[in-house]
Amino acid sequence: MFKRLKESSLLFWSLEILIVASLIWVCTNIGFLFQPIGTFLNVVFMPIVISGFLFYMLNPLVKVLMKVHYKKFRINRTGAVAIVFVLLIGILAWGSVSLIPRLINQVSQLVSNLPSLASELQKEATKLVSNSTVLKKVDVSTYMKQFNGEISKYAQNFLSSLSTSIVTVITTITSVTIMAITIPVILFYMLKDSEKFIPAISRFLPRKQRPEIVGLIQKMGDTISSYISGQVIECLFVGTFTAIGYMLISQPYGLLLGVVAGIANIIPYLGPYIGIAPSLIVAFTQSPMQVVYVVIVVVIVQQVDGNLIYPNIIGRTLKIHPLTIIILLLAAGNIAGLLGMVLAIPFYAVVRTVVIYLFNIVELRNEEELRMQTTVYQPQPAKASKATVKNKKKS
C-alpha cells in the first residue's frame, strides 16, 4: 500500500513538472503573442505608479484643506482637490518658465565645459601633490589622464546621442505627452474618490477578518503617505537652501548642483555625501577656499535638516533606528543598486507596520480569550443550607 502511494505521488509530481516545463517552452516560443500585453502593461504601469506617488504626496494637503472652515463654510473634498490642482499647476507653470530653462542652460554649459574642468582639476591635483610630501609617491598624472579621457568620452557620447537619436527623442516626447495627459486624470479621481476605495474593497473581504484587514490597509496607507510627503518636503528643503547657499558663495552651476543635492537626499544618511561630490569637484577647480565654502554650506543645511526637518516630519512616523537604516541601505544597495537604496526604507516601514499591527491583533485576541476563560471558570459562591437560613431568620 505504501509503495503504491509513493509511486502515485511520484507520478503526480513528475507530471506536474512536465506540464510546467511544457508551458514554459510553449510561452517562450509564442512570446510574440504576449508582446501587446506587455506593451499595454508598460504604458499603463508608469502613469499609475506616478499618480500613486503624487496621491500619497498630496493627500495630506487635501485632508488639511478639508479641515479649514469659517462658521458654516467648509471645503468639501472636491473643492480641496481643485485647490490642490490649481496650486500644483501654478508651481509647474512657474518651474517651466523660470526654473527649467536655467537648469537646461547650466546642464549644457557643464557638458560643454567638462574638458576644461578636467584640465583645471588636473592642474589643482598636481599642485596639491607637489606641495604634499606624502602624495609625491603617488603617480597622479596617469589617473588624471584616465579621468580626463573618461570625461571626454562621456561628453562626446552625450552630445552625439542628443544629435543622432532623433527617433528616440520623438518616442520619448510622445510617451511624455501621453503621460502628461493621463496622469492628471488618474490623480484627480484618486484624490476625489480615495475614501470610497476601502469600502469597495471591504465588500470582498470575509466578515470576521474585515475590521482587521481594513485597519491594516489604513495603517499601510498612512505610513506610505507620511514617508513620501515627508521625504518630498525634506528634499525640497535641502535642494532649495543648498542652491541658495551655493549662489551666495558664487559657486558655478549652483542651481544645478543644489537640485542634485536635493535629489540625492532621497537616500538617507548616504545621500548628502553623494550630493556634495560633484559640487566639491567643481569647487576644487576654482580654489581650495571654494571647497571650504561648499563644505560650510552643506554642513549648515544638513544640520538644520537633521535636527529640525527630518525628526519632526519623518522620524515621528517611521521611528526606525539609524543603525537599522544603514544596514538596510547596505543590503539593498548590494541587491538592487541605487533603486534598492531608495525603496528600502519605505518597504521596511510598510513591513514593520504590518508586523506590529498583526502582533497587536494577536495579543488582543489572546487577552480576550483569557478574559473569557476567567469569566467562564470563575468559582461561584457556595449556597447556604436551609438550616443556616432558618437560624439567620430566627436571630
Give 152's pLDDT tier (boundaries 50, 70, 90): low
Give 366's pLDDT tier (boundaries 50, 70, 90): confident
How far is Cα 241 from Cα 255, in angstroms, rounded to an integer? 10
Question: What are the tens digits of pLDDT across the range 187-233?
Answer: 888 888 877 877 777 777 777 777 777 777 777 777 788 788 888 88
Q: Where are the domains of the chain?
A: 197-372
How far is Cα 110 from Cα 254, in angstroms, rounded to an integer? 11
- The strand pairing partners of 70, in sequence order, are 73
User: CB of 251 within 8 A of CB of 257?
Assistant: yes
Question: What are the tens digits of pLDDT across the range 226-271?
Answer: 788 888 888 889 999 999 999 999 888 888 899 999 988 888 777 8
Select the more confidently predicted residue: 349 or 171: 349
How far is Cα 370 from Cα 332, in angstroms, rounded to an integer? 42
**Average pLDDT value for the chain:** 75
pLDDT for position 245: 92
How far is Cα 239 from Cα 279, in angstroms, rounded to an integer? 13
Query: How far are the Cα atoms of 7, 35, 38, 99, 128 from residue 20, in angstroms, in the given order?
Result: 20, 21, 21, 55, 64
Q: What's the pTM?
A: 0.68
Residue 393 has pLDDT above 60, yes or no: no
- The strand pairing partners of 73, in sequence order, are 70
User: CB of 238 within 8 A of CB of 261?
Assistant: yes
- The strand pairing partners of 151, in sequence order, are none
Residue whose grid cell is 476563560 = 373
- Write out the H or E segment, with its range, that includes residue 153: helix 140-164
Give 55's pLDDT tier (boundaries 50, 70, 90): confident
How far is Cα 198 from Cα 196, in angstroms, rounded to an integer? 6
**Exposure of 243 by Cβ count < 10 A (0-12 exposed, 13-18 middle, 19+ buried)?**
buried
Strands (E), 134-217: none
Count how many Cα atoms sit within 13 Å of the Cα of residue 95 in the half-sphere of its side chain. Answer: 9
- Tell how strand 73-74 and strand 69-70 pair up: antiparallel
Residue 15 has pLDDT above 80, yes or no: no
Angle at the Cα of 60 from the Cα atoms of 59 and 62, rounded to 5 degrees = 65
Select the more confidently predicted residue: 113 or 283: 283
Residue 181 has pLDDT above 50, yes or no: yes
User: CB of 213 within 8 A of CB of 205?
Assistant: yes
How far is Cα 201 from Cα 195, in angstroms, rounded to an integer? 11
